[in-house]
Structure 1
Amino acid sequence: MDPLMLLFLLIAGLTGADSESRRRQVSVLSGGSVTIPCFYGDRYKRHVKYWCKKNDRDACTPIVHSNSPQEGKVSIRDDPDQRVFTVTINNLTTGDSGYFRCGVKISGGSDDGDQVVLSVTDGVSTVKWMRVQRRGSVTIPCFYSDRYKTHVKYWCRGNNRDSCTPIVHSDSPQESKVSIRDDPDQRVFTLTINNFTHGDSGYYWCCVEISGASDPGDWVSLSVTDGSSRLSVDKQEVTGVEGDSVSVQCHYGYSVNKKLWCKIGGTCVSERSGSWDLDGRPVLIRDDTGNRVFIVTMRGLERKDTGWYWCDAGGLQIPVHITVKLITITECK
């Protein structure tokens, strides 16, 4: 999977004793792929799982079932040991946007499941919900399609993309407490915002400037709080050495049932699994509920592990960039 045909998602979790019920959102660039994990309780381990699309009358048309796991560009894989099934959709187009459901088939009763809102954008994608601490700072990555590498990027504020107020542009990268940096090779531009105030709460847009056409963009909601940010990391920039390991501490401010570590353009792993594989990299997640922090350790690092990841807890996300450096050996003379 191309890491820049990315997903930013709030993971779907089936209702039940050990999961949360809510509408989840997935934002992904067109042309790419997305893998959505759907977690479920122990009592559903032997049940058939499915993925369906809702229509205007709230009916849900099944697309793929775990007992018939491939349908066109959509596939499903169930892992009862980890109590999760994953739905993978390839070659995404804007027409794939809509309301979907991760479901569990229940004989003689109402099927259980949660709603997923899939939004396939045509050019830009970013995180969705962030809560930040007053006077704090944050860096937000905005990914874009290859065709926009030479275009001017900008950050604006407002409820609507077409009428939002520009704050900073990549051809004039600093404006007061907001700065922007474009990395065309990685097809990502980053916004760094310092010294938050309550007046900074609101909807913002990552946008690309298009001459003579509507600018493509994607939104993020920022909420500024006096107390805990409810989800934070010690550092958003983490450096490791090839062959070694790195750890990231994700602090959450209240009790949540699921904590996730995700790689942009890849998949997510949950603290429920303890030790898991994330796109070929061994990952250990340890949840310290007493101190409300889950610690992610990635082992056996390779240069290809360099990139953006994020912590997810309670529907909030915080991005983390990991840089893997080569081991440097200096010979003694």
Structure 2
Amino acid sequence: MCCSTVNNIQGHEDGSVSIKCPYDSESVNNLKYICRGNHPSTCLQQAVITSDTEQNGRLSFKSDTNSRIFKVTISKLTLNDSGLYLCGVQKITQVDVFSAVELKVKEWCCLKSHQIRGNVGRPVTLHCPYAPQHRNNRKFVCKGSQRSNCSDMMIGQSRFSLHNVSFESFSVTITQLEEGDAGTYWCRSDPEWTVGNYTQFHLSVGKRHIGMIKIIVCV
């Protein structure tokens, strides 16, 4: 079993997280690896990535010899990535050295919904809150049923305009609504989808009946 100290880190679904593992100056050129679970004796055999492999699917390996830390980054996190990880450093004439990290991946959840109305040929404005830590990030709206595949609507779309940017929110106005504007939209302030306040819009557009946008604010 391992270890007496466990470092705790958090990530969020669809985001990325880095597990940082220390090593001593004598182990700069030694094999380094990481595995899941709490069994040092089988960790190398069950390693999910080693220093011999820079990329393994969603995992990437990088070592900084100056700070003597190697880092394993996991992208496109899922809830199943939660759990204990062991960082291993191979010792040629000694027992391998380990450190432990507990990863908790949080899910996205919807807090509340609102409705806003629009119509073909008329403008509609989307009011988007965002997290304070995203203050200097680019603000935009993308379209797509999933966060992972939405298209940036602020590029090459003259009918979408950004305005009223404050320290807590921004607005996007769509002028001259068209039937083809129907779909799912996301207000975004972070291209990596890390934790923050996001607004999802389900837009339906009609000629005579006022369209409806359902807003779901997520963290």
TM-score (ref. length: structure 1): 0.31
Larger relative contact order (CA 8 Å, sep ≥ 6): 2
TM-score (ref. length: structure 2): 0.46
